[in-house]
Amino acid sequence: MIKSKKIQFFLIVLLIIIISVIVGRHFVTKHFVKKFSKMPPPGVIVNAVSKSTFYESIETFGTALSLKNKNYRIKKSEILNENIIIGKVVEKGEVIFETSDKKIIAPFKGILGKREIAQGVLGTESFILTLDDTTSILLNIKVPEIYLNILKPGLSAEVKSDSFEKKFYGTIESVSSRVDPSTRSVLSSIIVENKDLKLIPGMLLDIKIIYDKKEQLGIPENSLLIQGETAFVYKVLEDNTVNKIKVKIGKRNFGKVSIIDGLSLGDKIVTEGISKVRDKIKIKILN
């Protein structure tokens, strides 16, 4: 009898606990639903899908050479005019220097330079005066033979130097008809525009040969949501809600990624604040 009453009491207590848990969960859920339903929509930055340029590149380096150059070996004692200025730009037809029996005329526009002859060499009272045409720079580079089917005259190249922030631009002028068997590379020549004469012979330059250049739809990389091997973006609808949609991506250049499938030109997507966004929610556009 006593045992039966204990069991009955235990069941009643257990039932009360279960009811309390259910009622508690109901009110807690109701509280959070009410709280978060009043939260303002997250503020995000939105941009339209536009076209961008994407390409592949071959990266290498090379030493700058003057397109045209002329050397004059002269004795200091024979020079009549003492106003030779190293670094001066001389025009074509201008007198570079005079000796007792001749005048040296510049055959082209260029910059004057000077190379001393090493001590101990016969005629060390002489020096070599150089004239370099640097309005364009020549780069002879060796490219691995695996790129032989890509290399061709007319391909564009971007050139950079640690000395300057700006980029210089050039074009492949020629490609050798032979592969060097010792290095398994092919010799190519690039002509780089240098109208402001900033690049000078002897400089080491970083070179990027551009190929497979295409105009494609592009979006910022930070607007992508990557899950495993699948990429998603949040597309903005007219009522300022978002749809999480799958996209197929391609090349990446300059912080942008090309979109092969999933978006159209002019579509609006979330580009900043993506971590605050969830599928189907309403957003606040800040820009």
Q: Is residue 194 part of a domain?
A: yes
Residue matched to tokens 């109901």: 26
Task: Tell me, yes or no, whether 141 and 208 share the same domain.
Answer: yes
Task: Tell me, yes or no, whether 113 and 156 share the same domain.
Answer: no
Check if the beta carbon of residue 270 is closer than 8 Å to that of residue 230: no
Task: Tell me, yes or no, whether 193 and 244 share the same domain.
Answer: no
Query: pTM of the full predicted structure?
Result: 0.68
Question: What mean pLDDT value characterizes the chain?
Answer: 87
Q: Chain-centre distance of CA 94, in angstroms?
A: 43
Q: Chain-centre distance of CA 277, in angstroms?
A: 29
Check if the beta carbon of residue 49 is closer than 8 Å to that of residue 217: yes
Q: Is residue 128 part of a domain?
A: yes
Which one of 91, 114, 133 terminates a domain?
133
Looking up residue 162, the CATH number of its domain turns out to be 2.40.30.170
Expressed as residue numbers, the domain containing 259 is 43-54+215-285
Q: Is residue 232 part of a domain?
A: yes
| C-alpha distances out from residue 274 to 36, 51, 52, 143, 279, Å | 19, 22, 22, 42, 11
Q: Which of 256, 254, 267, 252 is nearest to 223 (CA)?
A: 256
Which one of 168, 186, 214 terminates a domain?
214
Query: pLDDT of 56-80, one tens digit each?
Result: 999 999 999 998 999 888 877 777 7
Q: Is residue 233 part of a domain?
A: yes
Q: Is residue 103 part of a domain?
A: yes
What is the tally of structural domains in the chain?
A: 3
Query: pLDDT of 97-152, one tens digit each?
Result: 888 788 888 899 889 888 766 555 444 577 888 999 999 999 999 999 999 999 99
Task: Tell me, yes or no, whether 230 and 202 share the same domain.
Answer: no
Which one of 118, 133, 148 terminates a domain?
133
| C-alpha distances out from residue 196 to 168, 192, 200, 202, 206, Å | 11, 12, 11, 17, 19
Q: Is residue 23 part of a domain?
A: no
Decide if pLDDT at 248 tops 60.
yes
Task: Tell me, yes or no, whether 184 and 234 share the same domain.
Answer: no
